[in-house]
Structure 1
Amino acid sequence: MSFSPMPSAEPAPSPHASIGLTAVRGPGQFARLLALVLGAALALAGCSSIPTVGPVGTASAQRGDEQQEEAVFSPEGPAAGATAQETIRGFMEAGKGAADDYSVARQFLSPGMAETWSPAQRATVYRSSRVVATPDPNLFQIQLEVQSTVDIQGIRIEAPAGSTESIPVQAEKVDGEWRLTAVPDGIMLSLASFPAVFMAHNLYFYSSDYEYWVPDTRWFIRRAGIAANIVNAVLVGPAPHLQGAVVSAFPSGTELARDAVPVASGEATVDLAADSLSDATDLNRQQMTAQLQQNLRSLNNITSVAMTEGGHSVDLGKGNGEVRSAIADPSAGATQIVVYQGELAFYGDGPTAVEGVPSVAGYGPRSPATSADGATIAFLDSQEDTLLVTGKGQEVRVAAEGARFTAPSVDPKQWVWTTQPSGSGTAVLAIPPGGNRDAAAVLSAPWLEGLGVTELRVSRDGTRVLVAAAQGGNSSVMIAGIVRSAEGVPVSLTTPATLQVPAEAGAVDRVKWASEDTVVAVRTGAQESVPVILGPGREAQLLAPKEGILGLSAGNGTEDVFIQTDAGIFNKVGSSWALRSEGVRDPAFPG
């Protein structure tokens, strides 16, 4: 499962067709091809075609499955006497073979086209395809049911269900054989082939305080040289939804001295261009080395990383090895906070009282949240229009009042987050430690216009928010970055990336982090619901259905998932739900 663009209120024209057209190479070919496509559009219904519907497959490409070995495919080159449509189909199939810079795929192109075609620009992943002839004997269309696309930076964007794309292709006889003389940059892969050709890999950037590693899932072709591709992507910077929310130790414009990261006896040597580090402090260089190690160490042939500059060793300076390591995938612990017999309680093997906290029974507490250290506890009253905060040795105080609030979330810096309706959209509130509504940061997020947020959860690294939102009967699950000031005050949310939710899961309204890059979502209500596990580096995983799900929580990984019904709390056991406790409600892991 991967990120998709934020849906707009109005249906937007598909970006795919425009990319397919504008990427056509060759003098005057684009104008001619576009005119021919428009002229032929009305006649396509009666044209011949070669329909081919590829098998729809799913495969997980999680971090634990990463392989350094090159995926070896040996696609066949052009067959003598092949028709134009067969040549186009052969070119599509040859997109699986990246060896020697796609030398086999280039055999299907005219000499001039083979010189200019750029396969790395884009990968289009399709569920089904067919090649359609037009009245012009040299013009064809590749019609795709698109599942996703991967851009040159490895960012995978899933297309909404039912998305299609028509790609114009021009073919002519060259020395008596059909060859493609105009075709868009990029390759086309069936959904079944995609996980064998590409692998998911998390890039890592620092949180703004350099305390946490923040994942940025990308997709890379399984072939030799992947380490250099990963380093280049790190040097370019984070994906759009993380820009401004994370930082890199490498200054903008840093480049490799050469497009390679050689590996010898398990040590990868990252050689930066000369003078790249001229302004870097000892601490900067140490942070750069740590970032390279974090990004490369999961490759199975790399055990250590050496950073050089212009071929010379880099002096990491004083305190080398003493720089504090950032935290990756912080643990949620084993204890949840719940409501039990009208009071706040901690829940591990069973409910236990929260020591040092006054009674809250008079508020009818709902949807509690706690910080990782338990110092801050936030909850809503029974009407969900008052946000309250307490903690060990603290009185209960009103943090905010107003319209209906969503369940609170507490970030690592003890800020309490919630949302409430505002005008035609939603306001995001972040209340500082010890503060109230008057001191709250009201975050700028224009993309929330027209959306009703049903849940917002801050990531355990404090850099991102996970949002479930509804609009016109439909729902979205989105991840946005948190932009903070130099003092750590939340300022705004970045334009989000969207996780596509399978239709079987319905209009989900509850979402929880299960790890640094995996989330769980569910639709609550009296009807049978199907919880689903989502993530940018994995295919969606539907869990066992359950009637009357009222709550959801997730701890450390996809097996540490809990749901609540009127009967009590259930935890995930394999493909089933097992009753864990009765009389407990609103479970939530820290965060």
Structure 2
Amino acid sequence: MSISKSVVPARRPGQPGRLLVLWLSAVLVLVGCSSIPTVGPVGTASAEHGGEAGEDAVFSPEGPGVDASEQDIIRGFMEAGRGAVDDYSVARQFLAPELAGTWSPTERVTIYRSSRIVAMPEPDQFQIQLEVQGSVNAQGIRTDEPEGTTETYPVRLEKVDGQWRISEVPNGIIVSLASFPALFIDHNLYFYSSDYQYWVPDTRWFVQRSGIAANIIKALLLGPAPYLQGAVVSAFPAGTALARDAVPVAAGEATVDFTSESLRDSSDLNRQQMVKQLEQNLRSLNNGTSVRMTVAQRDVDLGKGSGELRSAIADPSAGATQIVVHQEELAFYADGLEPIADIPSVAEYGPRHPAMSVDRSVIAFLDSREGTLRITGPGQDVRVAAEADRLTPPSIDPRQWVWTARPAGSGYQVLAIPPDGDRSSAAVLSAPWLEGLTVTELRISRDGSRALVAANQGGRSQVMVAGVVRSAEGVPVSLTAPMTLQVPSAAGEVNRVKWASEDTVVAVQAGVQEAAPVILGPGRKEADVLSPKQGITGLSAGNGVEDIFIQTGEGIFSKVGNSWTLRTEGVRDPGFPG
């Protein structure tokens, strides 16, 4: 049986739609390949879930009542989706015997705002009609739908020993938006950036139940979400599998046991990277602080340190200093203005939207008409890096590549200029999905592995995150097909976006009379709409959702709670590194 979906346009005073969110998790499987050096005697660690992080959410739905009506059976089945214990055994009681053995509850979780059950003209057939918030797929990736989206679930019933039971219904469970936070928990999987310098988050949603540590590791072994494939790497080769469906934790140590075929050809460095990745992925669980890696219950020999193992950085800091324009020159701003030493005057260009690298050695800006990108820095002349009718504000990644986007044909083209490069050395990235879009901002994440894009298509704005694919030498090659973050209608048609942390972004519709910045992210239950402000023209974000700044004609305002406080006057276009 199939599910039908439709989108009813949401009413927005003078402002059209938005899109979908992706990402996020529940329960998974494995993959296969390899085996490795082990030491010590064969152990006998328990396969029980005791000691593992995560406890079952306590929901005890009731089974079907005697002589319950058809609609009561359908309602009871929906309610029983809250009970994951014993593979949703209570929900299966509402199903006819044949369906009870084949129905797959984890194939899809539908999150709904409201519902009703409607009888169809055919005997014993009904529809569950839902106003949908979103869904979580079998890989734990959550997708939120546009406001006004509806779905219909066909249901057929039959009599079994004189009692109504469901004989046909789509796979998956149906959960109310109110119940979802108590049943599911978001958790960041972490993969390495392509240079192994940073941890890159991949938010998933898991059922809150015992065994969550094993589910996290199984999800990790399956690899990243589609939009990150090719942009990040894992220390574990394809095919690595757990030896058992448990990751017991005792005295703060998690034991992760792999099959004897796993990791066969891995090097010492590779195995050391594996342990680091396991530790990073289990770190946020309450009782898991260290990892013991075993194969067939024997400790894995990690070899000797060679100096090659580097500690990857999670959620890199943006620091406290922004770059600004003051009296047509570039300056630093933290608690006050600070001149930038040893850079040439840029006043003749009318600088706009400056950006700087983390170490402040590379500075980029647009000219007054926003059609020429120039690069400079301490001890450097000003050089032209790109030209077009219009360019997006520059963004500088951790490897000091300068990024911008420009119109090309019926879409937009992404450029990345290498360190010490100019317009003759710019890399042009492949991103076919930009066809038909007008890009208003492009921001590279502080781990260098993701691109945040604000774009407009037919008067409707979109906020998307794509993976950055690089060559073996670190040259940007392409952007993956993106995931889309849902923007609430209260935010308007956003055209400015910034990274606020490793998994959170802030967006705003600049250039209108009044706008409300909004905080988005895959791990957020819903977007947070901040207080509106008159005449917002700029936006910047540092370290977290409390470190957000906006610009108006009055000056630069900082976020204090849910209000805005004037921070400084006489400067414009603030930007943290990146």
Whether TM-score is above 0.5 comes out as yes
1:230: which partner in 2?
216
2:158 counterpart residue number: 172
- Which residue pairs with 2:260 in the alignment? 274
The one-letter amino acid paired with 1:325 is S
Residue 322 of structure 1 and its aligned partner are, at CA, apart by 7.5
Q: 1:119 aligns with which of 91, 99, 105?
A: 105
CA distance in 2, matches of 1:16, 1:507: 30
| 1:526-576 alpha-carbon deviations (Å, 9 max, x no partner) | 411000000000020010100100000000000000000010000001111
How far off is 1:278 after superposition? 0.8
Q: Does residue 570 of structure 2 align to residue 578 of structure 1?
A: no
- After TM superposition, the structure 1 stretch with the greater mean CA deviation from structure 2, 560-569 or 141-150, is 141-150
Distance in 2 of aligned mates of 1:407 and 1:89: 52
Counterpart pick for 1:556 among 516, 530, 543: 543
Correspondence 1:176-575 to 2 at 5 A: 176-319=162-305, 323-538=309-524, 539-575=526-562
Q: Secondary structure at the match of 1:447?
A: helix
- Does the C-alpha gap of structure 1 residues 209 and 95 become closer, same or farther in structure 2, counting only changes over 3 Å? same
Contact 1:254 1:276 in 2 (8 A): yes
Q: Is the 8 A contact 2:5 2:151 kept in 1?
A: no
Distance 2:196 2:316 in 1: 14
CA distance in 1, matches of 2:295, 2:308: 22
- Alpha-carbon distance in structure 2 between the residues aligned to 1:531 and 1:18: 30
* Aligned partner of residue 293 in structure 1, secondary structure: helix
Give % identity.
70
Distance 2:369 2:547 in 1: 30
Report the 3-state secondary structure (helix = DSSP H, G, I; strand = E; otherwise coil) of the residue aligned with 1:232.
Answer: helix
Cα–Cα, structure 1 residues 422 and 322, in superposed 2: closer, same or farther, change >3 Å?
closer
Mapping of residues 80-159 of structure 1, within 5 Å: 80-159=66-145
- Number of the residue aligned with 1:30: none
User: Does the 8 Å CA contact 2:388/2:407 hold for their aligned counterparts?
Assistant: no
Q: d(CA) in 1 for partners of 2:4 and 2:105? A: 17
Q: 1:216 to 1:80 in 2, by over 3 A?
A: same
* 1:585 partner SS: strand
CA positional deviation for 1:68: 2.4
- Paired residue secondary structure (1:229): helix
Q: Is the partner of 1:495 in helix, strand or coil? A: coil
Unaligned runs of 5+ in 1: 1-14, 20-60
Tell me the distance in 2 between the aligned counterparts of 1:500 and 1:77: 36
Amino acid at match of 2:494: V
Check conservation: 2:538, 2:573, Cα contact below 8 A: yes
1:120 aligned counterpart, secondary structure: coil
Contact 2:440/2:456, CA 8 A, preserved across alignment: yes
Larger mean Cα displacement after TM superposition, 549-558 or 524-533: 524-533
Secondary structure, counterpart of 1:96 in structure 2: coil
The code of the aligned residue for 1:383 comes to R
Task: Please give the alpha-carbon distance, in whole angstroms, between the structure 2 residues aligned to 1:521 and 1:16.
Answer: 33
| 1:396 partner letter | V
Q: Is the 8 A contact 1:68 1:301 kept in 2?
A: no
* 1:113-162, Cα deviation, whole Å (9 max, x unpaired): 11111111110001111111112222111111111110111000111111
Distance in 1, matches of 2:375 and 2:495, equals 24
Aligned residue in 2 for 1:32: none
> Counterparts of 2:148 and 2:225 in 1: how far apart (Å)?
26
Offset at residue 16 of structure 1 (A): 5.1
Shift of residue 163 of structure 1? Answer: 1.1
Cα deviation digits, residues 316-335 of structure 1 (max 9, x gap) = 00118972110000000000
| TM-fit CA distance, 1:265 | 2.1
Shift of 1:219: 0.3
Structure 1: how far apart are the matches of 2:152 and 2:512? 42
Cα 1:92–1:320 change in 2 (3 A) is farther
Instruction: Measure, in 1, the Cα distance between the counterparts of 2:94 and 2:512.
Output: 57
In 1, Cα distance between the equivalents of 2:204 and 2:380?
A: 44
Q: Number of paired residues?
A: 532
Deviation digits for residues 10-54 of structure 1 (CA, Å, limit 9, x no counterpart) = xxxxx95389xxxxxxxxxxxxxxxxxxxxxxxxxxxxxxxxxxx
More helix by share: 1
Aligned partners of 1:272 and 1:423: how far apart in 2? 51
Q: What letter is aligned with 1:413?
A: R
Instruction: String of CA shifts for 1:83-110, please: whole Å, max 9, x gaps.
Output: 1111011000000011111111111111
Contact 1:199 1:222 in 2 (8 A): yes
C-alpha separation in 1, matches of 2:55 and 2:338: 50
1:45 alignment partner in structure 2: none
Partner letter of residue 241 of structure 2?
E
TM-score between both structures, scaled by the size of structure 1 = 0.88
CA distance in 2, matches of 1:263, 1:582: 54
Deviation at 1:164, TM superposition (A): 1.1
Q: Distance in 1 between matches of 2:554 and 2:384?
A: 31
Moved more, 112-121 or 208-217: 112-121
- Secondary structure in 1 matching 2:536: coil
Give the 4+ runs in structure 1 shifted more than 3 A.
Answer: none
Q: In structure 2, what is the Cα distance between the partners aligned to 1:373 and 1:560?
A: 20
Distance, in Å, in 2 between the alignment partners of 1:498 and 1:163 is 16
Q: SS of 1:119's equivalent?
A: coil
Q: Distance in 2 between matches of 1:552 and 1:16?
A: 41
C-alpha contact 2:357 2:397 (8 A) present in aligned 1: yes
1:286–1:320 Cα contact (<8 Å) kept: no
- Superposed CA deviations along residues 186-240 of structure 1, whole A, max 9, x for unmatched, are 1000001111100000000000000000000000000010111100000000000
Give me the whole-angstrom Cα distance separating, in 2, the residues matched to 1:127 and 1:90.
17
Structure 1 residues 438, 585: CA separation in 2 closer, same or farther (over 3 Å shift)? same
The secondary structure found in structure 2 opposite 1:325 is coil
C-alpha contact 2:5 2:152 (8 A) present in aligned 1: no
